[in-house]
Amino acid sequence: MISSHQVALIQKQNRLLAKLPPDELERLHPHLEIVSLSLGQVLIEPNEPIPYVYFPVNSLLSLVTVMEDGSTVESGCIGREGMAGVPILMDASTTPMRTLAQIPGQAVRIKASIIKEMFDTGGSLQKLLYRYIHTVIVLGSQSTACNRLHQIEARLCRWLLMSSDGVGSHSLPLTQEFLSTMLGVRRSGVSETASKLQSMGLIRYQRGHIQIIDRKSLETAACECYGIVTAEYKRLFG
């Protein structure tokens, strides 16, 4: 169990937990555990029981669809605004998707059985997570449309903005290999696009690291999907 001081810090860093009233956060307190996540660490395997749910603190998680030939594409990301393990809330003990750590850092984890029991009792936690489930559906739907209709440059800009929001930083430790997996394109395509964004002064790109330099211009270059998803989250959570 973590200390009351750590709970207070977590409440400030994870926006979802920050919306819980003090009494309901206190109910969760004995079951909270802070864990450190490494780059690429798999938290939820396809079609295997989900043992824990995770609330990122300064890490970023990716929801990845895995095809039969082994190819992958990102369908969403989870940062300090959310929670990984939503299928548990919907009485689904497994999912065909993989969840892994896209940016290493800390997260709070709770046993899936505990969060499901508390969710089923109703109250503010249930209402809050129902709203979050809606945003996950919106993000997945928008990502599907984005991957089908938008060019890689706009998609990369959107993804970098969402990653920055998720960890609360303009400094992103990301490799070409990981970016290509998330975008479902070849590494050469990622390299060319990142170099273009750097020449435009939007980012600074070095091996394994991206620094957002001009966020406003990056938002302009991103597709409409970023604004749609962000506006919906703000509508529901402020």
User: Distance between CA atoms of 73 and 17, rounded to whole angstroms?
Assistant: 28
Q: Any alpha helices (H) in 29-122, and if so which ranges?
A: 112-120
Q: How confident is the model at residue 229 (pLDDT cuts 50, 70, 90)?
A: very high
Average pLDDT over residues 130-146: 89
Q: Is the pLDDT of residue 205 over 80?
A: yes
Give the pLDDT confidence score for residue 14 in this predicted structure. 92
| Token pair listed for 199 | 């020449």
**Cβ proximity of 25 and 110 under 8 Å:** no
Bridge partners of 44, per DSSP, are: 99
Amino acid 234: pLDDT:
93
The mean per-residue pLDDT over the stretch 24-33 comes to: 88
Selection from 141, 138, 120 nearest residue 129 by Cα: 120
224 class by beta-carbon count within 10 Å (0-12 exposed, 13-18 middle, 19+ buried): middle
For residue 142, which amino acid is it? Answer: Q
pLDDT at 167: 94
How many whole angstroms separate alpha carbon 43 and alpha carbon 52? 8
Give the per-residue pLDDT at 52. 97
Query: Would the pLDDT of 5 be above 90?
Result: no
What six digits make up the tokens of 206? 């070095």
Please name the residues in contact with 89: beta carbons below 8 A apart, sequence gap of 6 or more.
115, 116, 119, 129, 133
Q: How far apart are CA 210 and CA 213, in angstroms?
A: 9
In whole angstroms, give the CA distance from residue 22 to residue 55. 17
Rg (CA), the chain: 18
With a cut of 70, say whether residue 2 has pLDDT above it. Answer: no
Residue 222 is which amino acid?
A: A
Going by the DSSP 8-state scheme, the letter that residue 103 receives in this structure is: E
Cα–Cα distance measured from residue 107 to residue 159, given in angstroms and rounded to the nearest whole number? 20
pLDDT at 112: 97
Q: Can you give the pTM of this predicted structure?
A: 0.90
In this model, does residue 181 exceed pLDDT 70?
yes
At 150, which amino acid appears? Answer: H
Q: Is 7 a residue whose pLDDT tops 70?
A: no
Which residue segments constitute the domains of the chain, with CATH numbers given?
Answer: 4-111 (2.60.120.10), 150-237 (1.10.10.10)
CB-based burial, 104-130: b 16+ in 10 Å, e otherwise: bbebbbbebebbbebbeeeeebeebbe
Average pLDDT over residues 14-30: 89
Q: What pLDDT is attached to residue 174?
A: 86
* Residues near 114 by beta carbon (within 8 Å), at least 6 away in sequence: 31
pLDDT computed for residue 74 by the predictor: 72
- For CA atoms 77, 16, 203, 197, the dihedral sign is positive
Give the pLDDT of residue 1.
62
Query: Is residue 101 very low, low, confident or very high in pLDDT (cuts 50, 70, 90)?
Result: very high
